[in-house]
A and B are shown apart, each in its own frame.
Chain A
Amino acid sequence: MLIGFLILFPLLASLLLFFIKGDGAKRIAFVFSLVEFGISLLAYVWFRGNSNMDMLSLNCTWIESLGIKFAVGLDGIGLLLVLLTTFLVPLIILSSFKTTYDKPNSFYALILMMQSALVGVFVANDGFLFYVFWELALIPIYFICLLWGGENRARITFKFFLYTLFGSLFMLIGLIFLYNHTGIDTGIKSFAINDLYAAGRSLNLSQQSFVFWTIFIAFAIKMPIFPLHTWQPDTYVTAPTQGTMLLSGIMLKMGTFGLIKWLLPIAPLALAKWGGVAMGFAVVGIIYASCIAIVQKDYKRLIAYSSIAHVGLIAAGILSANQQGVQGAVIQMLSHGINVVGLFLIADILIRHTGTRDIDKLGGIRSMNGQFGVLFLIILLGSVALPLTNGFVGEFLLINGVFQYSAWLAAFAGLTVILGAVYMLRSYQAIMLGEKKANEVTFGSLADTDKAVLMIICLAVIAFGVYPKPLNDLAEPAVKALLKLLTI
């Protein structure tokens, strides 16, 4: 029951929000998102204490003739991602307080709707339901980008929508193929996840390869992985800051989560055969995107490309299919979500206070606002995975995992350590350090809400870097159980 509430509450809240006029929408949305965070914390406490487990899963029949059930449930990985979602959405809403959007009620309603769909993706235990939530998440973000975005938004959002939809179509084909092979014993076909797992394992190599690639393409486009990434930089730059935060902070985790839960156990033979190829693409993407990030002048675009690099490493770790790689991926998903939201907020602050995101035009902000400099630096260090920041735990486990698959791939993937430092430090220097540029406006002090969000993020960066145990305690057994499915 609680879990149903977890999914539906933001949806109901968003419907309510549509009717609220004026500025109050911000605060009400923020309160709603905090309530949702509270509900997820409750779910966390129950999950860890192993109490009230029946409240944490739901299994009703939906379309009986097709074997589709409304089946949702929490496992360690899903719970962590739900927590990430419910933790980030209040921060995202809070970060928007200083920007005025017209029709704010629709804006915040769409954010909450998206949260609902995202939570649904992370808890779905039925293939069809997973697909429905997957597509549902696309609709609010489409509108957010289209109505409140920057220049050329119609064309770019349209391209993003079509590209992602194209990939999802492949996933649907794969799921249906699997569905047709379920129910070998019982004669009843079903979309339930365990049946799909069983069906996948029963296929031969070429069939599994088909399923592997069709489903993989959908995730590869969503994350994105080289070379299917070209929609991402434009979309991230054009979307309003909150849209970009939703996209990069949470939505792309749908892809990586899907890889873990919906691809690895389904096609183990194909994974053994083709995993290396897919990993190769991911690793190439890391180096490729990092290089491009080095020569970017628009800070938002730089962060977008750096996101591709980070996700490439996460994907490579998942595809290595060992305990360290997949667990590292889960941890890194959380760290990356938090860090990238922080970085995009910083880009937003830069535009609001100085009117530009162009690195060449900025400079010397540190001398005007030391506090901002420190907060920026901490989040940056999390992004380049300095030990004792949250980024390091995930990155170490990931490189470890990839290394166990192939030492050379790990060496190449590890280049992100160097290249990440290059573009992050260079841009930090160009933006923050040095003398103030002649024609620059005074930076001023940070708004309260911005400061609060940045501080919370910095706290998370350091706290989870020093003490990642709570996260690992959830992730480790869940990953272990999942990897066991690969060897049945």
Chain B
Amino acid sequence: MIKLIGLVPLFPLIGFIINGFFGKKMSKSMSGAIACISVLASFIVAVLIFMEVSASQQKSNVVELFSWINSGTLKIPFSFLVDPLSCLFLLIITGIGFLIHVYSTGYMHEDEGFSRFFTYLNLFIFFMLLLVLGNNYLIMFVGWEGVGLCSYLLIGFWFKNDAYNKAANKAFIMNRIGDLGFLLGIILIFVNFGSITFGEVFGKAASIPTATVTAIALLLFVGAMGKSAQLPLYTWLPDAMAGPTPVSALIHAATMVTAGIYMVVRSNVFYSISETASEVVAVIGALTALFAAVIALLQTDIKKVLAYSTVSQLGLMFLALGVGAYSSAVFHVTTHAFFKALLFLGAGSVIHAMGGEQNISKMGGLKKALPVTFLTMLIGTIAISGVPPFAGFFSKDEILAHTYEHSQLLWFVGSIASLGTAFYMFRMLYLTFYGKFRGTHEQEHHLHESPKSMTIPLMVLAALTVFGGLLGMPEFWGMKNWMSENLDPIIIRKNPSILSHETEWTLMIIAVGVAISTIYFAYQMFMKYKVLPAEKEADMKPFQRVIFHKFYVDEFYDAIIRKPLDAISQVFYKFFDKQILDGIVNGMGDITKWKSQQLRKLQTGHIGFYIMAMVVGIITILFFSLIK
């Protein structure tokens, strides 16, 4: 079955081609069905392969498809690596991908670009699968950039809107900044190792000077910063909410943004060797987690809250990677995929019910009208706040525990971020579902629960969120941590936890306590005292305004990058190119003309002058020949 790994990306590719060429001619249900079935087929094959890999002793299997690029010593085949890590990601991508495909058939039902949507969605699944299956850095890079393309296409899906197009451009270009770092990292690997195939590179990693390994790790991390929206390359993610909600769920929550995590886990040997690089990863992760959480506190667009929440959770995952807790990071990726997809799809359901409204100040009391959505979102919110026994608790706790081992300061920052998470998530929940309805009359009439195609995926995801924690139960409870056992072969340098059981219990209790008290505080604020988000900006205090404006980071980037770039380009064009360079060239022509004008004056037409010139010339010639 492992040999048939090629089928897994093939099915979505076929779906892409069919929908791409014939989508417009098919009925909507046909188009949607083809797209969903192709992903389902991939999922089934993925499950079978997963079971085979789990059962077998040989964890690492390489399947080569064909020879792609050959240049001297650089040999890059199109080959896939099937091992526990890639299998796990396969399941997440195809499984959650399938649920979101089904959801989209309901959500995008009215849209005229229905088949186009599914074309792009299938293409995305294809590239994401390539990313996690590749056996060398370049195939990973193919998937990496490919998902960037699909992200661009899907964010700008409603292309008649210029603001959405700008957001799509921003996403693609910011991703590309990261990609340049990634590319340079890949080349640095080739220059030092003579190959970019995982097996060959990781085996020799220890023999390369640590400074080089640090450079490689940092360059690769630049790519991760772009793709996984970490400081400073995160501003594209909130803007990406311009795309349809299923896109936000699939790409900007569950899969594409986790590509950076996958890449670091895959390359864990580099980060284990280079402490500097790990430190950088951890610090940036922690800072991002905190920064994004603060911004989320005052956002009023339901999707933006979730977007910043994603950035923050990704920060936590990178924090885990930075302290060497690779399996914890992957565990959190999995649980986050469950509950974040759930939350986004639920938000989509809310937006659908509200007829397109996304501002939570205009919502309220929706739990009566949208019972299933409410219940599932409640589960998701509890999970993300880190309350046991739901999934988010176990993964987050593992991360914080490992962080505490490494640095108490970072643990503190991570905990504050988690505190913020609980607060803003419950704020969102209370403002959306509880209290009185604050929207318009027509919106109130329009409220209805979403169709089954949308609610069933919600329920499935909710179930996964509830039971997902079982994947990685803490060892000090005396239970099996399936996740870390499964991923053990991938991690080259082991880093077992050295915390005592008491410390672990203490940390756990602190985390739970903080979460519950924050929820209570939010309850007091939004339910009891019915605090609402400020109607106008003038009502906010100054520091609130700064947070509401996302710390003016976008404006900052505009000022130091975009405007100077445009200005320099104008200078290059108008001044340097036109006046100086072209001026020199034209100047040479002008000089020639001027000189020849002057020389023309010798042609006086006077015979006397010509004769004199002749005489002078003859005398000169005679003179010189006599001298010789």
Contacts and interface: CB of A to CB of B under 8 A. Distances in A.
Interface string B429-471: 0000000000000000000000000000000000000000000
A426 B73 CA distance: 38
B146 A399 contact: no
A480 to B, nearest CB: 7
B529 interface: no
A433 B162 CA distance: 7
B581 interface: yes
B141 interface: yes
A417 B142 contact: no
B146 A426 contact: no
A388 B191 CA distance: 23
A328 B589 CA distance: 38
B211 interface: no
B294 to A, nearest CB: 29
B71 A403 contact: no
Given A291-B569, A417-B183, A433-B165, A159 B74 contact: no
Given A327-B72, A387-B142, A415-B180, A294 B565 contact: yes
A403 B184 contact: yes
B166 A429 contact: yes
B577 interface: yes
Contacts of A407: 184, 188
B536 interface: no
A230 B584 CA distance: 10
B169 interface: yes
B169 A426 contact: yes
Contacts, number: 136
Given A386-B149, A393-B69, A230 B160 contact: no
Given A288-B572, A414-B180, A414-B183, A476 B71 contact: yes
Nearest to A483: B72
A434 B162 contact: yes
Interface string A389-423: 00001001101100110010011001101100110
B582 interface: yes
Interface size class of A (residues with CB under 8 A): 35 or more
B624 interface: no
A169 to B, nearest CB: 14
Given A387-B141, A400-B190, A425-B169, A411 B184 contact: yes
B198 interface: no
Given A230-B577, A294-B565, A399 B169 contact: no
Given A387-B142, A476-B71, A425 B162 contact: no
B180 A323 contact: no
B585 interface: yes
Contact of B72 (A367, A387, A418, A476): A476
Contacts of B66: 467, 469
Contacts of A476: 70-72
A371 B122 CA distance: 19
B68 A429 contact: no
B67, B145, B581 — most chain A CB neighbours (10 Å): B145
A257 B575 CA distance: 32
Interface in B46-77: 66-74
Contacts of B188: 403, 407
B74 A400 contact: yes
A421 B71 contact: no
A291 B572 contact: yes
A403 B570 CA distance: 30
B187 A400 contact: yes
B604 to A, nearest CB: 30
B162, B568, B569, B572 — most chain A CB neighbours (10 Å): B569
Nearest to B576: A288
Contacts of B586: 159
A154 interface: no
A324 B70 CA distance: 9
A399 B219 CA distance: 15
Contacts of B10: none
B179 interface: yes
A468 interface: yes
A314 to B, nearest CB: 15
Contact of A159 (B72, B180, B566, B585): B585
Contact of B572 (A159, A231, A292): A292
A443 interface: no
Contacts of B173: 418, 421-422, 425
A24 interface: no
Given A230-B585, A418-B176, A410 B160 contact: no
A258 B331 CA distance: 56
Interface string B372-414: 0000000000000000000000000000000000000000000
Interface string B471-509: 000000000000000000000000000000000000000
A469 B67 contact: yes
Nearest to B178: A418
A120 interface: no
B573 interface: yes
Nearest to B20: A374
B609 to A, nearest CB: 33
Given A163-B585, A403-B184, A417-B180, A397 B69 contact: yes
Nearest to A415: B180
Interface string A430-450: 001111000000000000000
Given A163-B585, A433-B165, A404 B565 contact: no
Nearest to B76: A396
Contacts of A323: 71-74
Contacts of B162: 429, 433-435
A69 to B, nearest CB: 33
B610 interface: no
A324 B72 contact: yes
B71 A414 contact: no
B156 A227 contact: no
Contacts of B149: 381, 386
Contact of A386 (B146, B568, B581): B146
A26 interface: no
B603 to A, nearest CB: 24
Nearest to A381: B149
A241 B568 CA distance: 30
A227 B581 contact: yes
Given A295-B570, A387-B141, A435-B160, 7 more contacts: A230-B581, A291-B565, A291-B568, A291-B572, A291-B573, A397-B74, A403-B188
Q: Which 7 A-B pairs have the closest CB atoms?
A: A323-B72, A387-B142, A291-B569, A230-B582, A295-B569, A433-B159, A292-B573
12 contacts: A159-B585, A288-B572, A322-B72, A324-B71, A386-B146, A399-B184, A404-B191, A417-B179, A425-B152, A429-B166, A434-B165, A467-B68
